[in-house]
Structure 1
Amino acid sequence: MRQSDEELVRIVLDDEDFKKAASINEVKGVVRRVLRKRLIDMHIEDSSEVSVRQCMVNRHLEWITLKILLDVDGILLIPEHIDDLEYFRMARDKDDNYMPR
């Protein structure tokens, strides 16, 4: 079952280690620790190529981290590859809204 980004953010925010995180790197570490397995399971059927799935999981982890930093801490980070992240998010949103006939 696919979880929404909002559900994934809530899982991280409820984690005790997140509540103790005092730096951007600590937040990144908590997001990775808490969500990595879930995202691997979520993206397992998205591609038969391991490297593609790994890239998708990493992009999703990064997207969630940036979302938490902005929404919770008010920190706006814009990575050099923001276009790739936006493309990833738009593709995910399109897939989530796809309804076969």
Structure 2
Amino acid sequence: MAKKLIFERSVQVGGGEQVRLRLFRASSGLLVERALGQQDGRMLVQILLLLSEQDMPQLAEFQAADEHRSLLMVPYNEVLKNARAEFADSTWAREDS
């Protein structure tokens, strides 16, 4: 299964930079992607793999380590809400088997 986009939000964080948060469903679990687009065109990407609902505390750690977490509070909350809903709906995991 190719990854499927569940959620995406971009926020301007100043200095010509933009942060994009995306949540994907993949065959192995959920992927949280944080991409920082810099003014000079460089893109810095971090990825967090959540294999099960037991991995959700890692998302809180991921957010806590984000230097722009205060500006991204709402998008991170949406990622959390959507990730919980995806893990609650276990049918997608069975579709990949």
TM-score range (shorter-chain normalised) is 0.3 to 0.5
Which has the larger helix fraction? Answer: 1
TM-score (norm 1): 0.34
Which has the larger strand fraction? Answer: 2
TM-score (norm 2): 0.35
